[in-house]
Amino acid sequence: MTAVLQIEIAYALSNIQVLKKITVPLGCTVEQALTISDILQQFPEIDLANNKLGIFGKFVRLDTQLHSNDRIEIYRPLIIDPKEIRRMRAKNSAHSDNR
């Protein structure tokens, strides 16, 4: 009997969140698990050359070996810099206080 691991793959868009539970062979890498999961076919916009990946919030590489109950997270590129959002909110808040 081949040893296997239970893992999860998480990916979120603005309107949908996907959490896939899959079984992978012992020694499986992040890249292999993503291939096995078919998430790359389900979401062709995922580009492993550009999207950052993590396991429980810690960045990892494609060749990272998985452990039991790991959750691979696929991060989307930011649409706008969080610092810019704060500047815009501060400006709008100051503008509305002057009315």
Ordered structural domains, the chain, with CATH: 4-97 (3.10.20.30)
Buried b (16+ CB within 10 A) or exposed e, 10-26: bbeeeeeeeebebebee
3-state secondary structure of 9: strand
Q: What does the alpha-carbon distance between residue 70 and residue 30 come to, in Å, rounded to a whole number?
A: 10
What are the helix (H) ranges across the chain?
30-37, 39-42, 82-97
Q: What is the pLDDT of residues 42-98, one digit of tens each?
A: 999 999 998 999 999 999 999 999 999 999 999 987 666 667 777 778 877 766 655
> So what's the pLDDT on residue 82?
67
Are residues 25 and 33 in contact, defined by beta-carbon separation less than 8 angstroms? Answer: no
Please name every residue paired with 65 in a beta bridge, in sequence order, or none if there are none.
Answer: 29
Q: What does the alpha-carbon distance between residue 70 and residue 65 come to, in Å, rounded to a whole number?
A: 10
pLDDT classification of 99: cutoffs 50, 70, 90: low
